[in-house]
Structure 1
Amino acid sequence: MTYSEKLENAKILYPFDRWLEAYDQGLDQYSDENCDRAKIILDNLIDKLISLEETASINDKLGLFREAVEHLNFLNDEIDGSLIETGEREDLCTLFNEIATAAGLNPTEYGGGEGIASEWCDW
């Protein structure tokens, strides 16, 4: 499997369809708009990692992860901290770790062993 295929394959872990189901159960923070905004952040991360190519420096890759996590922090703050709660945090941490692995990074080397998102997340 190629580098780009590994990264694209991480999208199977996207939790956003499941989050949308919560909207149908009355949790307004999981609107189409908010879920789409979160999805775009992750899509951009994957697209930018693919553009960098597999041989890019670790620091360049980490910069993209930091940017994505900080965008999610901002999105969550805009929604009064209610978009990313415990279950959603776990979804996103798993997803970020999978993307990191596909990008050639070892997620356990970041966030005190908790994973790459833990380096910068406020959620």
Structure 2
Amino acid sequence: MTYQEKLAAVKAYYPFEKWSEAFYPDENDVGGIEEYAPENCEAAAAIMNDLVAALTAAGEKAAEGEKLALFEKAVENYNVMHDEIKGFIDHRQHDDLCDLFNRVTRTAGLNPVDYADGEGITGMWREW
């Protein structure tokens, strides 16, 4: 499997649709949690899609610093989302996102334990 195919395969692990289905099961459901409306979950997926696309464009042999800058941009975008949509990244979502970032980190040829004292790449910039 090529580097590009491996990165594309990461999308199978996206938690965003699961969040929407679990917490906002029907747009007419008055019991749904507004933070997890489909448009918010789609915006969260778009951030990760942008990271995957940028890593793909950079290529497998891109320098570590170049890859880190791409990860930083994605984490910062989630920070903005966290600030704008209070409650969107709660404990469960935090864990899902960190796991996903660790998977993308490994797929991009980096080791998550090499960053933020073993916490993973998100620990370098995360505010959620």
**TM-score after normalising by structure 1:** 0.96
Name the structure 2 match of 1:85. Answer: 90
Structure 2: runs of 5+ lacking an equivalent: 26-30
Aligned-residue Cα RMSD (Å) equals: 0.9
Structure 1: runs of 5+ lacking an equivalent: none
Deviation beyond 6 Å, 4+ runs, structure 1: none
Shift of 1:112: 1.4
Name the structure 1 match of 2:74. Answer: 68
| Corresponding letter in the other structure for 2:24 | Y
Q: Which is greater in Rg?
A: 2
What is the aligned length?
Answer: 122
Shift of 1:122: 0.5
**TM-score after normalising by structure 2:** 0.92
Distance 2:71 2:106 in 1: 12
Distance 1:79 1:106 in 2: 30
Shift of 1:109: 0.6
Name the structure 2 match of 1:32. Answer: 38
